[in-house]
Amino acid sequence: MGQVIPENYTDLFEKQAFGNLGTLMQDGSPQVTPVWVDYDGKYVRFNSAKGRVKDKNIRRDPRVSISLQDPANPYRYLEVRGRVVEITEKGADDHINKLSQKYLGKPVYPFRQPGEVRVIYKIEPKKVSSMG
Amino acid sequence: MGQVIPENYTDLFEKQAFGNLGTLMQDGSPQVTPVWVDYDGKYVRFNSAKGRVKDKNIRRDPRVSISLQDPANPYRYLEVRGRVVEITEKGADDHINKLSQKYLGKPVYPFRQPGEVRVIYKIEPKKVSSMG
């Protein structure tokens, strides 16, 4: 069963707070990189491109953790641990544009590389920790 | 053999950039939390308290990853993967005060809890990735 993000922390997903996403390398060691993130009320979602290290890691082992700090107060933060339960290219272009609007104020994602295939990853929260 | 942080990214350790530290839970899943961090020219160092989840995780499996974003440009970031090669309480009170000065402008760490034992963790960088 998934867990819900506490209501008094969902505002972090409305702010320009980066997620710092932890995935697992092939040897089981951790990898951490910043990502754009949102929350659809059930899943924590981020968007990456097919073939990147984190994409390969998640397809091998879907266990992840994501940490978000409040830009207005870095001592207020949220950590969501769980599994990526869905990986889809469907709607991923719209989703990256939506995130571009949120983080950059630009309605079209400006960093797209030639041939890049965008992917949405949906995390089912299993353990939510908060501070501050 | 350890790797060196590229000189054109060491400024991130002078700024008030949080590290987002990835460790491994007992079941091998990732855990990510923000930490204060510095760099002594060889080791990436952070400071925590004995008995916390990350402390237990690192004592069980020293493999970690830490991600730092430039506060002036979040698309400029550094990821350092490696191992915690030293865990010590020696100098840890001075170190947390030094980090308090850096991050809060306060020469004495103000968040200390009764009975808390501070600990320094030293990461030997094995793989350094940068962006931006």
Nearest CB neighbour to A20, from listed B20, B23, B63? B20
DSSP at B26: T
Tokens 């987002």, residue?
B20
pLDDT per position as a tens digit, A18-43: 999 999 999 999 999 999 999 999 99
Contacts of A29 in chain B (CB under 8 A): 24, 63, 65, 81
The verdict on a CB contact (< 8 Å) between A31 and B22 is yes
List per-residue pLDDT tens for chain A, 132 residues long.
678 899 999 999 999 999 999 999 999 999 999 999 999 999 999 999 999 999 999 999 999 999 999 999 999 999 999 999 999 999 999 999 999 999 999 999 999 999 999 999 999 999 999 999
pLDDT per position as a tens digit, B1-19: 678 899 999 999 999 999 9
Question: Rounded CA gap, A18 and A91, in Å?
Answer: 21
The verdict on a CB contact (< 8 Å) between B67 and A24 is no
Model's pTM, two decimal places? 0.96
Helix (H) and strand (E) counts in chain B:
2, 7
Domain boundaries, given as residue ranges, for chain B = 7-131
Question: Rounded CA gap, B81 and B24, in Å?
Answer: 13
Question: Rounded CA gap, B62 and A100, in Å?
Answer: 36
Task: Give the pLDDT score at A1.
Answer: 66
Concatenated DSSP letters for A54-116?
HHHHHHH--EEEEEEEETTEEEEEEEEEEEEEEEE-TTHHHHHHHHHHHHHS-SS-TTPPTT-
Please give the ipTM for the structure prediction.
0.95
Q: Within chain B, which residues score under 50 in pLDDT?
A: none
Which CATH code is given to the segment(s) A7-131? 2.30.110.10
